[in-house]
Structure 1
Amino acid sequence: MELLRAKHVKYLNRCLGILPQSSEMHDTNRMTICFFALSGLDLLDALNLSETEKKSIIDWIYAQQVQPDGENASQCGFRGSPVVGSPFIVQDKWIPIPFDCSHITMTYTALASLLILGDDLSRVNRKAIVSGLKGLQLVDGSYFAVPFGGENDMRFLYCACCISAILGDWRGVDQTKAVDFIVKSQGYDYGIGQGPNQESHGGSTFCAIASLALMNRLESAFDERQLEGLKKWCLNRQQSGFNGRPNKPVDTCYSFWIGASLKLLGCYDFVNEDLIRGFTLSTQSTVIGGLSKWPDCHPDPLHTYLGLCGLSLMNESGLQPIHPALNISRRATVAAKLLL
């Protein structure tokens, strides 16, 4: 089966423009969906936006930047959409909306999207974002997503590392504590969970490995036994495709989560690419384009993007190479002069 490139381009352009009413529950995640569409089109070498369209998207992204001062510094970053209400100005004074704040994942995807669009990040309040990151890190090294508390796990630590790598400023990350949190989250089976004593999972394993790679600590964080066990755990996720946990079905998204982990660990050569590629391509929609979680399911932006990322790791014809740790095209990192 071949990659249905033209159909995927149309699908991602639709996602970038408008989503059906059934997707309104995802309105707070609009920034992430925008990233999936933009980065997917970039990987397909089909980000053919006019300068007017690029400017419109860039301006919308910057409109989601939250940058209060003083005691609200931990709220700095980017929100997912204006659904919670944008701040307004009265007599040149910034008036915040209650609970309007950034989300660490939206900050990462906003910055990544700006890089993909060729923006120079000149309007990013770097100092405020770094200050906000400091306020989100817990004493155990993990991160909250928002300053009001809630979940804290490996996903948000990864986002903090991506933000720091993009900005070239690691003052918002206590790397010693972050590495300690990652090491303590490795399970008895050598996979890595969302936190200590939690089940090993493909997604959290990627977040941990990629974070260590971005911090240049992948080789030093684990001893030889732990590192070899981690490689084996990832390689054992191969079935007809990749799964995220033992005794679970394979899933398109793990072609990236596990595939990128193996790339970063230097053992992707042991992957049966024909098998993984075959499963991933079997989830393509031949009608509307896009990829889905499993064959014969409805496509969605997340699985479409991560499926394309997984295929990029295999050097699929027609796809741009991807940076496995930062999860954007290598072309975008080179254009942004990121020293990764």
Structure 2
Amino acid sequence: MTPVANGATVDNAHTNLHSGDHLVEPSEDVQLSDTFLSDARFLSFFLTLWPERLRSLELQKLAVIFFTISSCASMNMLNLCHKAAGSRQKLIDWLYMLQIENHDDEGDKLDWGFRPSEWLMIPNEKSKSSEGSKTFLPCISRCYDGSHLTMTHAALLSLICLEDDLERVKREEILKSVAQMQQKSGCFSCTMHEGEEDVRFVYAAVAICFILNDFSRIDTDRVVHFILSCLNPAGGAFGQRPAGEAHAGCTYLALASLKLMGRLDVLSEEQKSQMVTWLVSRQLRGFNGRPSKDEDTCYFFWTGASLSILGFYYLVDHKAARMFASTCKGGSGGFKKTADAGEADPLHTHCVISALALDPEANAISPELLLPLHDALDIPQKYYLHLKQLHASWCTNQ
């Protein structure tokens, strides 16, 4: 059994929180902010070492780095990330090292953006920077060493949280690449070459355009049409693709995309009401992503942020959600997906921290300890304001 507050066990805590199929008031509360320092240390570890158990996630490494940077930013502990990486500037430089510029073999498409990690690169010993660090060159066919929408999205958000000026970002070129990845359906392929197409990459593409302050390169009407085609009338929420099962994670991606485009008004009041009912019904103690599924800490964010975008975050039973999250604490910091999962991981840790940051005061945490979150971008409002300042400077310099 995993111990929780006052020596109770996970099973006992679950019994206290839940009677039959009805949520009941928890008898006690927990202060998840008490372990923020250990959570931040747990996350910053991934900036120094890449555990063997994460080798299979090498192609998602940049996303894991974003989970670390964004969560530490929310907890006001970015200094731990700077220390782990050597300095803030070294972390920024590492992110820019992953920016790619490519032509495909036929020379008719530009591939600009960010690669997921340095695993397809080798050191070029002859080329050294002024600090003596190695630069890197692709060592495998360009069709494998290409940009990825999700990784470009993660890199840009990470740079914003580090308060970079984005001057080294190839903004125009990346926007052209994003436009080339849009399909006739309105959806986006995840890479310039063959790749998956679903609402995950719609969100990444829309967020990139929002960050770079230019929606003119993509057909937003077709994007909206695709998103609406993913709305499952039976469930009342969004699926991963048309005719897909309603899912809390996909619902967040669809709603966040609509919000960033300023198109939430395409949803009728009846559709919103049905969606809110479906989202609220995802909470038992914690949240599940679909009916009849187990609770999982990642849905604390996906569901909570969806309700936040719709203006109904206050319907969340914050105390019960915190109690469930407390049963999923890792032994050395961080959060696991469930109480009986093996180890804490960056994704579920990030989701819990971001969920709490949707409304720190509602979650019994001072805004000084946890910065309020921008629900659609999943970064602290403080850094969203930094982005808006960049937008203003770009407009002034045009």
TM-score (norm 2): 0.80
Relative to 1, partners in 2 of residues 1:185 and 1:87: Cα closer, same or farther, differing over 3 Å? farther
User: How far did residue 172 of structure 1 move?
Assistant: 3.4
Question: Is this contact kept in 2: 1:73–1:131, CA < 8 A?
Answer: no
- CA offsets, 1:112-146, max 9 Å, x none? 00011111000000111001001111111111111
Size of the alignment, in residue pairs? 335
Mapping 1:1-340, distance limit 5 Å: 1-3=30-32, 4-48=35-79, 49=82, 53-69=87-103, 71=107, 73-85=109-121, 97-98=140-141, 99=143, 100-188=145-233, 189-219=235-265, 221-285=266-330, 287-297=331-341, 298-315=343-360, 316=363, 317=365, 318-337=369-388
Question: Is this contact kept in 1: 2:120–2:139, CA < 8 A?
Answer: no
Question: Is this contact kept in 2: 1:190–1:229, CA < 8 A?
Answer: yes
CA distance in 1, matches of 2:273, 2:242: 20
- CA offsets, 1:164-185, max 9 Å, x none? 1111111332110000011111
Letter in 1 for 2:200: R
Relative to 1, partners in 2 of residues 1:18 and 1:72: Cα closer, same or farther, differing over 3 Å? farther
User: How far did residue 204 of structure 1 move?
Assistant: 0.6
Relative to 1, partners in 2 of residues 1:292 and 1:95: Cα closer, same or farther, differing over 3 Å? closer
TM-score (norm 1): 0.93
User: How far did residue 72 of structure 1 move?
Assistant: 5.6
Question: Is this contact kept in 2: 1:273–1:314, CA < 8 A?
Answer: no
Letter in 2 for 1:2: Q
Give unpaired runs (5+ residues) of structure 2.
1-29, 127-136, 393-398
User: How far did residue 336 of structure 1 move?
Assistant: 2.4
Which residue number in structure 1 is paired with residue 11 of structure 2? none
CA distance in 2, matches of 1:121, 1:87: 25
- Aligned-residue identity in percent: 35
Question: Is this contact kept in 2: 1:190–1:233, CA < 8 A?
Answer: yes
Rg bigger for which structure? 2
Compute the RMSD of aligned alpha carbons: 2.2
CA distance in 2, matches of 1:264, 1:86: 43
Question: Is this contact kept in 2: 1:33–1:301, CA < 8 A?
Answer: yes
- CA offsets, 1:273-315, max 9 Å, x none? 1111211222112x31000101142100000011111111231
User: How far did residue 19 of structure 1 move?
Assistant: 2.4
Relative to 1, partners in 2 of residues 1:16 and 1:52: Cα closer, same or farther, differing over 3 Å? closer
Relative to 1, partners in 2 of residues 1:147 and 1:87: Cα closer, same or farther, differing over 3 Å? farther
CA distance in 2, matches of 1:310, 1:246: 20
User: How far did residue 69 of structure 1 move?
Assistant: 4.9
CA distance in 2, matches of 1:74, 1:86: 23
User: How far did residue 97 of structure 1 move?
Assistant: 4.5
User: How far did residue 2 of structure 1 move?
Assistant: 2.1
Moved more, 222-231 or 48-57: 48-57
Give unpaired runs (5+ residues) of structure 1.
none
Question: Is this contact kept in 1: 2:121–2:138, CA < 8 A?
Answer: no
